A and B are shown apart, each in its own frame.
Chain A
Amino acid sequence: MAFSVVGKSVQRVDAVAKVTGKAKYTDDFYERDMLVGKILRSPYAHAKVKKIDVSKAKALPGVEAVLTYWDVPHLKFATAGHPYALDPSHRDKEDRFILTDKARFVGDAVAAVVATDELIAQQALQLIEVEYEVLEALTTPEKALGEGAPLIHEDCERNILAARGYHIGDVEASFAESDYVIEGEYETSIVQHCHLENHISYARQDSDGRIIIVSSTQIPHITRRIVAQALGLPWGRVRVLKPYIGGGFGNKQDVCVEPLNAAMTLAVGGRPVKLELSREECMIDTRTRHAFKFKMKTGVSKAGKLKGIQIEAISNTGAYASHGHSIAMSAGTKFRPLYAFESIKYDPVTVYTNLPAAGAMRGYGVPQIQFALESHIEDIVNKLGFDPIEFRRRNLAGVGYVDPLSKNKVYSNGLAECITKGKELIRWEEKQAGYSRQSGDRRRGLGLACFAYASGTHPVGLELSGARIVLNQDGSVQLQIGATEIGQGSDTVFAQMAAEVLGLPMDMVHVISTQDTDITPFDTGAYASRQTYIAGMAVKKAALEVKEKILNFVWGMTDIPAEMLDLKEQNVVYKHSGEVVLPLAEVAMHTYYDTVFAQPITSDTSNNARVNAMSFGVTFAEVEIDLKTGKIEVKEIFNVHDSGKIINPKLAEGQVHGGVSMGIGYALSEQMLFDEETGKPLNNNLLDYKLPTIMDTPDIGVAFVETEEPSGAFGVKSLGEPPAISPAPAIRNAVLAATGVKFNRLPMNPQRVFEKFKQAGLI
């Protein structure tokens, strides 16, 4: 189908606002006499707060309030950005207080200060005297699971947050029928999102005493609910505004600073208080990516068919539950539409430790399991002498796959074409031939890795998105969505969708980018790569409703039946010939000012999606390894995606660039490090945490295989998270091809590479 706006690389609707500095972020909502909040953090990873003396801090001029556990409501709340569940058994684990009386990681918030400026707040923190009873720091899942280990949360035996897995088919029978059964162990590291804008919010009370919070969040409506729950307030007493935000990657799909910020403004009579985390704080007291350890065991036939797979996983969720329980399940779920396994047995254990809380991060458990699975597949291929590309291709589950547990059906799957395209782009055959016999200190190799992902969370979570469209007097429209622009470009693609349906140019669609829970349609927010798919359908439905109302109105004006009419280039036209009946602006004026028939045209639509579309893709990578220094350089990398119809190719390419660079960091350099004895963070800053710079990032090749997804608006499927999934295993497999050395643990940084090469006798 030919579209006029959808599928075009139109300019971002916020491009000018952002490059001219006019776009307002949370920190730009400055108010006169704004106070500053600061947090006192535990120096111990595991310790009870026995006594806090805040008298000296309170006496410091300029200090307006000092808060401890004993000054805030004792209502346990959950922080994960999931829709509320009416079914209590489906709710997130409630294991937090606004301020704690037991520190569970180094940096846990035990007290807070509100002062007239940051310096005074900082000085006041130093005047708070805390007496701790120090407990054993459980810095690894092994320690936390150990006999006699102290409990991090009293209600979780053996420090296990969750251990729910599943069986599909009979994996033992599959192994018995297999010609080979191959095992492997793989491990990923704790990493951080490193969004440009740290966590920040500001809170005050309005004249009615309601709490107003401006926050850098992906989930304004959920934030409103959680703040109210944490404070024991009716939900309507809280209003959350989400302005432009400087990135989130899942770390703002969680409620980190807002409940404390709200408690702060309540403590100072509703005066405005800003709570902003420094980078060092953000890296320990927001969320991280779960480190996983996997044991995989796979049965394969002589003909190279995957039979059954058994996966044991240990996930380190850190000090608080956050998304922990659902991330292990997501990992075990999303890979299923990739390969046609006869049987799968998945046994995850999610364990509390005394490290920063892990939560949602781009890919939600899938970059972890996909690193393990695609490394494992490569090891199988190597051991049995199959071709890595053909082996994967032969085992694809393909179109028509019905997930036995979720019942989601795959209606579109372009992965086989993606593989073909990626293979050509990297010139696999030609290079492979040249790399078969290498000597010397520099070696090159090629690798690939595939992935499957979902679009949203159905059937696990509610998938509700709202859109509101108002037709203005001039024939332009306002578009309001509950879905949040977090830099990914969602405002632009929604505007494209509305423009497409309504026959408008982009500049006649005015997107209200700020979400305000008092005004904005309900939506659960930016996560799970859901918005273009779920909220996109809401926008399409709202636009179709507005279109229907316009055409019906014109029927009343002209006596031409609505079904004979269409909207094109800001005109109402005859559908059959395109002949102009009326300019849309003229119709719009009548909807406002006709003395008899005026009735402004609006739509307020909600899409409750009970579908889920699987997206697919592959990374092809070429690496060069300096054997003597252990440095791995990615020379070429291509990500080829099936994300259905691409609404805006330029923005889509940008998504892939960002995801791949995240994947390269995950593969080669990023890891959060902690002292194993004390749990103290060693590198919670951007100097010591090796996030790659643009100088370390090669040119990233991007291609799309566009399929038609029947369940998505305009045929769209997810793209937000997928680009970050497959680069790490592709790079790992390329290193294996170049050197014969298996790196089963991330990251492959020079120190580790040196150690492995030494073991392997390469140096």
Chain B
Amino acid sequence: MGNYIATTASEQEDMLAKIGVSSIDELYGMVPQQLLVDKLALPEGLSEIEVRAAMEDLAAKNTVFNIIFRGAGAYDHYIPAIVKQIAAKEEFVTAYTPYQAEISQGILQAIFEYQTMICELTGMDVANASAYDGASAAAEAATMCRDKKHNRVCIAATCHPDTIETVKTYCFAADCEFLIIDAVDGLTDAAALETIAEDTACLIVQQPNFYGLIEDAAALADKIHQKGGKLVLSCNPIALGLLSSPAEVGADIAVGEGQPLGLPLSFGGPYLGYMACKNSLMRSLPGRIVGETTDADEQRAFVLTLQAREQHIKREKALSSICSNQALCALTAAVYLAVVGSSGLREVAEQSAAKAHYLAARLCAIDGFELVYKGEFFNEFVATTPISAEKLLLELEKAGILGGYPLSNNTILWCATEKNSKADIDHLIALTERAVSQCD
């Protein structure tokens, strides 16, 4: 059993004597006696060897797929070795929020660099130090847009289902009206925006959307702006290496799931909600923000700033209660972006898109496989399957491949990244052809 306690029994005796009590129990004198528990139903502690074995047993009950064609909000991109090494540095891992600027310049500068990179990717003026994940970032962005005169949040039906659910939950909390904007052919129906009332706070759109399709974000921005609302665009950050930035299409707030930037899949978290906005919304942006200033010797220095927005000062008047965020994930994303650079990020995006289009072409050459939507897609697409999705995916699973995400029994959302080689895709196609022929 380990407990990481650093005092010996005799030291503890000395300490009790200094305090002036005779036992540790005496220190709990304020606790009503009837509340003291004798012994909880917890297991005995384990040695490191035992605990490793127990946890390895649990890990072994999961199937690790070496070849993944599933995205749907979590993407299997390559993580360069140096990204993992740097993110494991103990000074970063074991620090708290950088309240003491003098001894936290490293973390503060790393976050400042991250904020700069997010502004570069999105084209926005200001970024925060992160939110919990992409879905909650979208919900926080909706809160930024709401005021007394604008208390309706619209979200495109083509957003990730978890994002829709999360925004809906935040709206329930805030007693704010929540409206889903329908899609036509897998794309947000701009005409549906005609009918919404003028007191709408915002429209949330995902780019590329849940089905992998590229939305006409500029048209949606125009429409929602005509209604006096703001456009919140939730972008896959890898796609931003190649496709139009949120600023270029007229978005007011850019958010998204930063997991593709060097974070492991880890069964869904921790991930990274990035958030950036126009200058005019700066003081509504939630969470930590690092700013540049100078110190007493006129040297460049970094500090947490604009803190009057935050819960520890504004308390019940704060727009968000966020305190801890995903700082280490933000640092990881910054390292990833520095490793790949601008051309590298574009290359990751281009390769992911090329592989997905190759996969789509090969797949749809098989009878019964067809693209469900005709729109332009990035690295994900929805295709029909002539045999049950469950059966096809099981066949792939037997070969160690995690196939696409089944949306129904005859449609699958496929994904490819730069990690999927042509050989992997050809292998997937061969297995699929065999599975189909076995069912004939």
Same assembly: no
Using a CB–CB cutoff of 8 Å, the interface residues on chain B facing chain A are: none
